[in-house]
Amino acid sequence: MSAEDLLKTPLHDWHQSHGGKLVDFAGWSMPVQYTSIVEEHTAVRQRVGLFDISHMGRLTFAGADSLDWLERLTTNHVAKLAPGQIQYSLMANGGGGLIDDILVYHLPHGYSVVCNASNRGAVVVQLERHREGVHATLADRTGDTAMIAVQGPKAKATLQPLFPESLDSLKYYHATMGRLFGSVDSVISRTGYTGEDGFELIVPADHAERVWTSLLESGKAHDIIPCGLGARDTLRFEAAMPLYGHELTDTINPYAAGVGWAVKLQKGDFIGRDAIAAFKANPGLTRVGIKLEGKRIARQGSIVRQGGQDIGVVTSGTFAPTLGQSLAMALVDPAAAKSDAPICVDVRGREEQAGFVALPFYRRSDS
């Protein structure tokens, strides 16, 4: 796909004029970095960083059957959501594989879903495929809104001056609606994908640059910097948050991926329920953390071995900036994961000694 054909966020021109290195990400022109991934990663861990995440899908639901529709299409129990609460959930296919992992918002006007950019089409298709008899509407708001993430220990101090209501009482995985600057309608959630405290904002597309630049100005006292998707990936990796296409795919079941807690089999029928129920007793594989003894990086697809036998495959790997170690997540045989026998990882044809370590690799001190 040529650069001209890529989708562009409302902040695209700003990124281009401020040194963002733009790449094709899921059909969107997105900044992968501005300075360096390590510098941006460290800013979020120690201070505050700002991300354009407008490529994420934003869907809103209205109508009497919205709740029932979402209950039938997602694995978690949407009816348990109190107004203002957000829920991590999954959308499964009939075989128990995953179409996407999503966030479901219960807002005053109804329900909303945030999904991955690469899967927005598949999510909408799945919803439409199962809407017969449903008295509800689905609106794709991705194009007329922007989504911005402010993340790090100084995130609240950066955002609060722009928002008239106190953010102190906004709990993790909760959202509030209000007006930035007293005039810009916004949804503000205490969510993120970095392992740090932070907020995600949904605002009208035509106000995106004003919000973005105001956050940068407000965060100057805390040495805020704009960050790209490269740092977002290393941050989520250290926090052991799964990434679709890596730890989650349409052939990986929730229990193997370590997100079985987002499945509520007792809530009643939903797409993929029977297959997922069978996987609960026998997931086949299990997600684990691995620490390599050297500094070489085990990328996705690297084979994990124990006693000369292949026991699994790496799903994500990098040299973790905060921890100064080469780490990986992998799907391996559950019996092998419980063994004390040493393991190794085949990194581009050379075996690297390694060992299993607990997940997450990194957890912030106040969590």
Cis status of the peptide bond prior to 360, with omega within 30 of 0: yes
User: Residue 199: which residues within 8 A CB-CB, separation 6 or more?
Assistant: 149, 150, 151, 155, 156, 159, 167, 188, 189, 190, 191, 192
Q: What angle do CA 65, 61, 258 make, to 5 degrees?
A: 95
CATH 3.30.70.1400 fits 57-140, yes or no: yes
What pTM did the predictor assign? 0.97
Local confidence pLDDT in tens for the 367 residues of the chain: 677 899 999 999 999 999 999 999 999 999 999 999 999 999 999 999 999 999 999 999 999 999 999 999 999 999 999 999 999 999 999 999 999 999 999 999 899 999 999 999 999 999 999 999 999 999 999 999 999 999 999 999 999 999 999 999 999 999 999 999 999 999 999 999 999 999 999 999 999 999 999 999 999 999 999 999 999 999 999 999 999 999 999 999 999 999 999 999 999 999 999 999 999 999 999 999 999 999 999 999 999 999 999 999 999 999 999 999 999 999 999 999 999 999 999 999 999 999 999 999 999 987 6
Examine domains 57-140 and 285-367 and report if their fold is the same: no
Burial 317-349 (b: 16+ CB within 10 A, else e): bbebbbeebbbbbbbbbeebbeeeeebbbbbee
User: Residue 107: which residues within 8 A CB-CB, separation 6 or more?
Assistant: 83, 84, 175, 177, 187
Which pair of tokens denotes residue 69? Answer: 């529709």
The residue among 170, 168, 206, 207 whose CA lies nearest residue 188 is 170
Question: Which residues, in sequence order, are bridge partners of residue 201?
Answer: 148, 188
Q: Widest CA span of the chain, in angstroms? A: 64
What is the residue extent of each domain of the chain? 3-55+143-238, 57-140, 285-367
State the alpha helices, DSSP H only, in 185-248: 208-218, 229-238
Choose which CATH entry (3.30.70.2860, 3.30.360.10, 3.40.630.10, 3.30.1360.120) describes domain 3-55+143-238.
3.30.1360.120
Choose which CATH entry (2.60.40.10, 3.40.50.720, 2.40.30.110, 3.30.450.40) describes domain 285-367.
2.40.30.110
Which pair of tokens denotes residue 360? Answer: 């997450």
Look up residue 302 and give its DSSP letter: P
